[in-house]
A and B are shown apart, each in its own frame.
Chain A
Amino acid sequence: MTPIEWQIATISAITPETPEVKTFGLSLPAWMRHQAGQHYDVRLRAPDGYVAQRSYSIASAPETMGRVDLTVEHIDGGEVSGYLHEVPMVGDRIEVRGPIGGYFVWDEKKGGPLLLIAGGSGVVPLMAMLRHRKAVGSTVPTRLLFSARSFDDLIYREELAALAADGSGLEVRFTLTRSQPPGWTGFTRRIDLPMLTEVAGPLGREPLCYICGPTLLVEAAANGLGDLGIAPGRIRTERFGPTGS
């Protein structure tokens, strides 16, 4: 079988999303259609041959041809995310390979109703799903529950609001766990069972669920959905970050 080859992408755009998050538009010489939810590996190489690799979720829809957008959160002390946030400029070249991953993926054929739950930059692969949903004109009933620390940490906030207003059957709910702006009407706490009941309830007993975020959030959300009677096989998870224990 042919391996997924490394290729040299050219950075075609760098877009700040929040103070800690940027999106890198990459032009690819060997672009391949991905599935929403997949990732690319990025490889950095120092002059002495030292290399560092990380995986980053694709934010763009599969329908965006010739390019992928990777949205990257700046991790404290992060060797690769720190480099990406501080050094590259548009026109710089960078080694990548992908798309990778075959389970945490959604396309219209998988149907719904769709329940997406995100913590922080865990929204990135879910955004690819929502952009795909939009690109193919899907009206699958969909709900996104997005947890972030503060209003300014809500990645894609305006685009999400626009998608939710387009009449396609998407509802977006935010929870801000650390601080809220004046007049905030969304949730103000960590994801818990009452919140999941409220958000998931209208989707019925068998929504297809994708949860991505820090480990503790994913554990809480996945266990909660289990408590609501959703079958484990309908719940797909992707976790990042330390365990906290």
Chain B
Amino acid sequence: MVRQVQTEAGVDEKFVTRGFVGRSREPQSRAERIPPGQYETRDFPVLSAGPTPRVKLDKWSFSIEGLVKQKVGWSWDEFQALPAQDFLVDIHCVTKWSKLDTRWRGVSVDTLLEHVELDPRAQFVTAFTWEGYTTNMPLTDIINGRAFVAYQYDGQPLPAAHGGPVRLVVPQLYFWKSAKWVTGLRLMDKDRSGFWEQAGYNNHGDPWKEERYTGD
């Protein structure tokens, strides 16, 4: 979405909002973990574009497809049997909240990719889901310990509203990239914008660069 904005509308970086002081600042070490324009929340808000789907475990599978030598898929039981790890990560939602030290259990994307032989042309990934949502990211953003597929949150099975039975978690990108109800990853040679990426949101979504919306 291209937006043409008149130049006189630009904002001088010295602008101060009259009478705004803000809440007391977080201790430095904690504040440093909050990206620009974000605030810390202790809740865990729910955001989805549509109804929470009722995922049937006996029909569920997770697959890795696209530019791989041979597509691989796991049933629910097979997926549970994969080597799992605990993850402690900070998450950042484009709607401005950040949540520090969230605890998850699931399978590293690296572990999943050990089961396929990647075509060297594979550079981009689309995560696809039970109900049809998609989101895209460069392969480099989800390998080398950067992303995992989670089925527990805070020691409990992941609730459906938060993406259960399993969701992708890509902590270093805005949280819409962490697709709820994920059912697989498709590897591609070209980038292909997903659901929110076609609806005004940034194609990449790095919170530290404040890549919120198209063109940021």
Residue of A nearest to B19 (CB): A87
Check A94 against B3 for contact (C-beta < 8 Å): no
Asked whether any CB of chain B lies closer than 8 Å to the CB of A137, the reply is: no
Q: Which of B3, B8, B51, B132 contacts A32 (CB 8 A)?
A: B3
Give the contact stretch, choosing among B36-44, B58-66, B75-83, B110-118: B36-44
The stretch that binds B, out of A123-131, A158-166, A186-194, A237-245, is A237-245
Could you give, for residues 92-129 of chain A, a 1 whenever the CB lies within 8 Å of some chain B CB and a 0 otherwise? 11110000111110000000000000000000000000
Closest CB in chain B relative to A97 CB, distance in Å: 8
Residue contact A235 to B50, C-beta cutoff 8 Å:
yes
Q: Does A215 contact B (CB under 8 A)?
A: yes
User: Which residues in window 1-35 of A have CB below 8 A to B?
Assistant: 1-8, 28-30, 32
Which chain B residues (191-216) contact chain A, with CB distance < 8 Å?
195-196, 198-200, 212-216
Partner of A101, one of B16, B198, B199: B199
Known: A53-B96, A226-B51. A2 touches B22 (CB 8 A): no
Give the docked Cα–Cα distance between A101 and B10 (Å): 21
Q: Mark A139-150, 1 if CB is under 8 A from B, else 0.
A: 000000000000
Q: Which residues of A contact B44 (CB under 8 A)?
A: 242-243
With A7-B11, A232-B131 as given contacts, are A222 and B3 in contact (CB-CB < 8 Å)?
no
Q: How far is the CA of A55 from the CA of B213 in the complex (A)?
A: 13
B8 contacts A29, C-beta separation under 8 Å: yes
- Give min CB distance, B37 to chain A, whole Å: 4
Closest to A6 in B: B11
Interface size class of B (residues with CB under 8 A): 35 or more
Q: Is A47 an interface residue (CB 8 A)?
A: yes
Contact with A along B163-205 (1 / 0, CB 8 A): 0000000000000000000000000000000011011100000
Using CB atoms, name the residue of chain B closest to A95: B11
Is B21 touching A51 in the complex (CB atoms < 8 A)?
A: no
CB of B7, distance to nearest CB on chain A (Å): 9
Q: Is the CB of B19 within 8 A of A88?
A: yes
- Does A29 lie within 8 Å of B9, measured CB to CB? yes
A-side contacts of B16, CB under 8 Å: 45-47
Are A92 and B161 in contact, CB atoms less than 8 angstroms apart? no
In this assembly, does A178 line the interface, its C-beta being within 8 Å of a C-beta of chain B?
Answer: no
Contact (Cβ within 8 A) B49 A8: no
Return chain A residues, CB-CB under 8 Å to B198: 102
- B95 lies within 8 A of chain A by Cβ: yes
Least CB distance, B160 to chain A, in whole angstroms: 9
Residue in contact with B15 in the complex, picked from A45, A52, A237, CB distance below 8 Å: A45
How far apart are B165's CB and chain A's nearest CB, in angstroms? 17
CB of A46 within 8 A of CB of B20, answer yes
Cα A232 to Cα B18 in complex, Å, equals 45
- Asked if B49 and A215 sit within 8 Å, CB to CB, the answer is no
Residues of A within 8 A of B144 (CB): none
**Bound complex: CA of A3 vs CA of B21, how far in Å?**
28
Assuming A222-B52, A241-B45, is B10 touching A5 (CB within 8 A)?
Answer: yes
Contact present for B10 and A239 (CB under 8 Å) = no
A219 to B45, CA, bound (A): 13
Q: A46-B20, A242-B41, A243-B46 known; 20 other A-B pairs, CB under 8 Å?
A: A4-B3, A4-B5, A6-B11, A8-B11, A30-B9, A43-B17, A44-B17, A46-B21, A50-B22, A51-B36, A79-B23, A83-B19, A103-B196, A232-B51, A233-B50, A237-B49, A237-B51, A239-B45, A239-B48, A242-B44
- Which residues of chain A have a CB within 8 Å of any CB of chain B? 1-8, 28-30, 32, 41, 43-47, 50-55, 79, 83, 87-88, 92-95, 100-104, 215, 219, 222-223, 225-226, 232-233, 235-243, 245
Q: List 15 A-B contacts (CB under 8 A).
A: A1-B2, A2-B5, A4-B213, A4-B214, A5-B11, A29-B8, A30-B6, A30-B9, A46-B20, A46-B22, A88-B19, A215-B45, A233-B50, A233-B132, A242-B45
Q: Which 8 A-B pairs have the closest CB atoms?
A: A102-B199, A242-B43, A30-B9, A7-B9, A222-B51, A1-B215, A3-B215, A102-B200
